[in-house]
Amino acid sequence: MLHLTIMLLTRKKRTTSFTIMPSYKTALVLASVLLCITTTSGKNYVSPLNVVETFPIKHDARASLNSCPCKNKFLCMPLSQAKNKYPTAPHVLNFIKKSNKTEVFAFVVKCDASVWGKFDWSKLTTVALANFYDAELICHAHQHGVRVVKLGNFPTTKLGNITARRNWINIQISDVTLKFLDGINIDYEDALDPFTPEQYGLTSLVKETAEVFHTAIPGSQVSFDVAWSARGIDGRYYEYKKIADYSDVIFIMAYDEQSQILKGPCAARTIHATSRKCHSEVSTVVMLQEKNCPSEKF
């Protein structure tokens, strides 16, 4: 039985850790989530991770292709490309070593080096930046063989519009390329009814995003976040099997916090021993057995 430790870092620099004990190793999402967040209270609080915006790239905020922000210019190259071009570079060797281990994925909201500098970079494999960009963090992460990806979301009303999807994908790949990133994490969490143009459109969005990213940046990572259960939690009836096939990584959001739903089987409220085991098993069993999702993607 494998134990996971998820750590929450607040701006007050308090660290909370707990252990998840899933009973299915092969279906495990090894998720060490490091969040730079401000603690808050109130029933209407919405996590910053659920508010993902797609915004135009401002010229004065983008990293120019001709001006690498890192002291070592090799660190500006996406790790998958550096692996092929500079296979003996120290940071590339570190990346290769980590590539053979279990994925440790971290979401980070806006903070500075006084916070992210305390992360255990020896264990991390991928960092997802939630609506902010920090060139210093990119250099630091790449130096430790850690991928850096951006978060992306897409409006539900346009999922069935192929032109809108293509335009969005072009914006994302341009942003990722100009900022020396390694890929994208699609953090789509809206409710979708089954057998609808929107449901099929979401699947197409993931497929098309992966195709463009893998062509433009060979070896880049396209990941997708899913609920702690595939059984329509929060009305999210997605084509999980196809999405898993098209993605490089599937991240099960089995966090130790209240889900969007208040009722239903195995509701993901504050975790204790019973509910922790419950929603971990629901995630892995449903994804693997009922949805036939490939275990290596989790």
Identified catalytic residue from 189, 198, 208, 281: 189
Closest CA to 102 of 27, 21, 213: 27
The per-type count for the chain, helices as H runs and strands as E runs, is: 8, 9
Q: What span, in angstroms and rounded, lies between the C-alpha atoms of 95 and 268? A: 34
Known catalytic membership, residue 136: no
Cβ neighbours of residue 47 closer than 8 Å, sequence gap 6 or more: 37, 257
Kindly give the interhelix angle for 197-216 and 162-178, rounded to the nearest 10 degrees.
30
**Residue appearing with tokens 């790239």:** 57
Beta bridge partners of 108: 129
DSSP 267: -
Answer whether 34's CB lies under 8 Å from 9's CB: yes
Q: Supply the residues annotated as catalytic.
A: 189
